[in-house]
Chain A
Amino acid sequence: MTTTVKTNTLTLVRAVTDALRTMLREREDVLVLGEDVGKNGGVFRATDGLQAEFGEDRVIDTPLSEAGFTGAAIGMAVNGLRPVVEIQFLGFIYPAYEQIMTHAARIRSRTLGRFTVPMVIRAPYGAGVRAPEIHSDSTEALFTHMPGMKVVCPSTPYDAKGLLIAAIEDPDPVLFLEPMRCYRSFREEVPEGKYTIEIGKGKRIREGEDVTVIAWGAMVPIAMKAAEEAAKKGIAADVIDLRTLYPLDRELIVESVQKTGRTVIVQEAHATGGVANDLIALINDECFLYQKAPVERVTGFDVPVPFFSLEDYYLPTPERVLHAMEKAVTF
């Protein structure tokens, strides 16, 4: 980074606001819509101040209707706008699922490219913040399984801003998942103005030879904590923050797993049908002969995310991850 770039110290949620503000200024075709995003600035304050700056027709409080405003956003996107939709919590996206699955994700292929849907759907997600029931889902796999959607999930303020701007500029629909637990957990230097991080690229956040640990969203700090503990026991972990869940960063994963020969995947979501399973398939395809141990998974269970009195039991912890790392290394 050159010394001339000004930076601000931001939380992840403020970095999201910063990305939205940057793009609302940069491009007339960008608009933000959803429940309570206007006057209230969003229930997490992610859109704070934007309506005051850009007006009610660019930062739009919609009726309480996920299918309605997501469907409307599809119409906007096919007709020259770049809508950024906010779903209040990922657990409330399901009414809009039909619109996303049956339309947003496949209009390009249905029309052989004649119509496209350059829209972004932002959704806070994940457990561990003592939210009421249904507010804690991490069902990203419903969307990675959906052909025609890109799925992005940052874990840091810097990545959140760069990835959100890239998502807004992306010609295809992008689901942008914001880990609630990371919203205000720490601050980071974030450059002012526009910059992008390529969708489809993960990031190595710790270098090691013994075992690859792959995580995303709120599981990244958990994986890092486990890696630090493992280091004390002489296990050097290569930790990857996936950042994009579809498409996966094949080069980075393959390079790391071929180097270490051992993998632990940390996934907050339920085990069956999750992103971890796609990672295992990729590793099986590309790294079979390099494997020194079966891939370990640390995941949530195949149960509805329990009410908050039990959520700590559901969520992967650094201890569970460390246990899996030791299992992989001692196999």
Chain B
Amino acid sequence: MEQFPIIKIVDEEGNVALSEYREKLTKELVMMMYYHLIRTRTFDRKCVSLQRQGRIGTYAPYEGQEASQVGSALALANDDWLFPTYRDHGATMTFGHSLVRILLYWKGRNEGCVPPEGKKIFPPSVPIATQLPHAAGAAYAEKRKGTKNAVIVYFGDGATSEGDFHEGLNIASVFHVPVVFFNQNNQYAISVPIARQMKSKTIAQKALAYDIPGVRVDGNDIFAVYFETKKALDRARNGEGPTLIEAVTWRYGAHTTADDPTKYRDQEESKRRRECDPILRVERFLQKAGWWDEQQISAMQEKVHSEIEQAVAEMEQFPEANPTDMFDFVFAAPTWTIEQQKQMYTTWREQA
């Protein structure tokens, strides 16, 4: 534990805890972070409500984890890679994913896996931890191409129990490739608390086994997340290899909208956790710095709302899903079995 203390730059009350960062916390940077924080939170809440109204399917909310997702994604450069899970659309939208596509994903549309042109955002990994080796491989390719691009890969605390976690870290370490393993330790894997998931006291310490740096940050402190991720990405770009970051955070809501957390989690705990809310913390900081500007902030909220409403409208007007896509994208050129099945099926549907 002592070896991996939780790094905090701004504390719960909005005070700067590490004075050497005071200069770096410019108004511009903080306002930009705040904008992304409220944008992701508003979007997440909108998705939960769309699910309740039956306008999208089962949804995985991230409320409470915004500082981890936004802070880390803001540290990326445009040409970097991002490998997310099903809960990281806060990170992907901050990195430039389209809101409409994210909504389409939750509406059960393959179109939702397609990132904007030029954006290296992989489709969300649904099987736990399987994306970690991909990230190591993508980083290997960047290294071989001789670029300065880095890779970030997201995963939860439960994911650290899977073989793929260890295999991914090991491969990245052996090949010394530019990848940041970004763990969001929200302390539960569905119903299983971290204490039943692993015996080690931190996730960061698992880095020791692979002889790579392990860092533990306050995942509700966007500044700590941002600057530590940036450092790790810089190390990656400079040929100094992979890093494991553990962002300690908490998700207020259910695992997904199909889940009932009252069965296994003390709901009072989630209420208490709101006191250390990542957005509240930035608001407190802004107020203390004398930068809290009601007008500017309500204009920001306005902008976020209209952007999200616009995306929802576009999602709902998106052309109907095309059944033949199912056949057309399995191979570059369809095999005879698929061609035959497609043809028989299409004929049958036309007759029926």
Residue of A nearest to B325 (CB): A310
Q: Complex Cα distance A293/B146, Å?
A: 63
Query: Which residues in chain A, 89-110, are within 8 Å of chain B measured between CB atoms?
Result: 91-92, 94-95
Residues of B within 8 A of A41 (CB): 263
Query: Which residues in chain B, 119-166, are within 8 Å of chain A measured between CB atoms?
Result: 126-128, 158-159, 161-164
B58 touches A63 (CB 8 A): no
Residues of B within 8 A of A94 (CB): 127
Residue of A nearest to B106 (CB): A132
Q: Complex Cα distance A114/B340, Å?
A: 48
Whether a CB of chain B sits under 8 angstroms from the CB of A188 is: no
Residues of A within 8 A of B345 (CB): 301, 313
Q: A63-B161, A67-B163 are in contact. Are A130 and B58 (CB under 8 A)?
A: yes
Q: Complex Cα distance A303/B329, Å?
A: 9
Residues of B within 8 A of A314 (CB): 326
B107 touches A134 (CB 8 A): no
Q: Complex Cα distance A94/B163, Å?
A: 12
Residues of A within 8 A of B110 (CB): 306-307, 310
Q: A65-B162, A307-B110, A313-B323 are in contact. Are A39 and B337 (CB under 8 A)?
A: no
Residues of B within 8 A of A309 (CB): 107-109, 321
Q: A41-B263, A65-B162 are in contact. Are A303 and B197 (CB under 8 A)?
A: no
Residues of A within 8 A of B162 (CB): 64-67, 95
B321 touches A43 (CB 8 A): no
Q: Complex Cα distance A131/B256, Å?
A: 11
B330 touches A303 (CB 8 A): yes
B190 touches A43 (CB 8 A): yes
Number of interface residues of B (CB under 8 A): 42
Q: Scan A128-170; emit 1 where CB is below 8 A from any B CB, else 0.
A: 0011111100000000000000000000000000000000000
Residues of B within 8 A of A132 (CB): 57-58, 86, 108, 126
Q: Which of A64, A134, A303 contacts B158 (CB 8 A)?
A: A64
B190 touches A36 (CB 8 A): yes
Q: A64-B158, A302-B337 are in contact. Are A319 and B263 (CB under 8 A)?
A: no
Least distance between B206 CB and chain A CB atoms (Å): 13
Q: A301-B326, A303-B327 are in contact. Are A63 and B337 (CB under 8 A)?
A: no
Least distance between B114 CB and chain A CB atoms (Å): 12
Residues of A within 8 A of B348 (CB): 320, 323
Least distance between A113 CB and chain B CB atoms (Å): 30
Q: Which of B108, B264, B321 contacts A130 (CB 8 A)?
A: B108
Least distance between A322 CB and chain B CB atoms (Å): 10
Residues of B within 8 A of A304 (CB): 330
Residues of B within 8 A of A241 (CB): none
B335 touches A302 (CB 8 A): yes
Residues of A within 8 A of B128 (CB): 64, 92
Q: A64-B162, A309-B109 are in contact. Are A134 and B323 (CB under 8 A)?
A: no
B341 touches A40 (CB 8 A): no
Q: Scan A296-326; emit 1 where CB is below 8 A from any B CB, else 0.
A: 0000011110111111011000011001000
Residues of A within 8 A of B (CB): 35-36, 38-41, 43, 61, 63-68, 91-92, 94-95, 130-135, 271-272, 301-304, 306-311, 313-314, 319-320, 323
User: Top 10 nearest A-B pairs by Cβ distance?
Assistant: A308-B108, A40-B191, A63-B161, A64-B158, A309-B108, A313-B323, A309-B321, A65-B161, A134-B126, A307-B108
